[in-house]
Amino acid sequence: MKLSPAEKLLILMLCDLSKTDPMRRELDFDLIESSVMNGYNWAIPFEYEWIGKSDYPIEIFSILESWHRIEISFEKLVPADLKKIETDYDPIKFDGFDGNLETEQYFLVKFIIEKLNLFEDV
């Protein structure tokens, strides 16, 4: 979803106004405001599908989903198999993205976890 600077300003002003309205819970204006301010406009239609198709960052979601599936698979292992893997191999873990070298990915994942409440266990 492309937004012009004027559209961004209008959205942010409406979000700011909505903070004083006790009936504002139909939409998560904090999420909308954060999405616009961080340039993650894709998150608005991602969260509210009725708005339209989201061009969300597929690569990042694929990485997080893949790691999530690995963790689920490990939980299903019988203790003997898990012990063998732990003995024969280095610890298997996902360290995330480097805040220095992969800054864009790091902050994107942080947004996905903290604002969209997805992949919180990764």
Which pLDDT tens digit goes with each residue over 33-82? Answer: 999 999 999 999 999 888 888 899 999 999 999 999 998 998 898 999 88
Report how far residue 89's alpha carbon sits from residue 59's, in angstroms, rounded to the nearest whole number: 27
pLDDT of residue 61: 96
Say what angle helices 58-75 and 103-114 make with each other, to 10 degrees.
60
- Residue 49, H or E segment: none
Q: What is the DSSP letter of 116?
A: S
- Rounded to 5 degrees, what angle do the CA atoms 22, 116, 91 make? 145
Question: Could you tell me the pLDDT band of residue 28, with boundaries at 50, 70 and 90?
Answer: confident
Can you tell me the mean pLDDT for 84-107?
89
Report how far residue 40's alpha carbon sits from residue 111's, in angstroms, rounded to the nearest whole number: 9
The model carries a pTM of 0.78
- Residue 29, H or E segment: helix 29-38
Can you tell me the mean pLDDT for 17-37?
80
Name the residue ranges covered by the structural domains of the chain.
5-51, 58-114
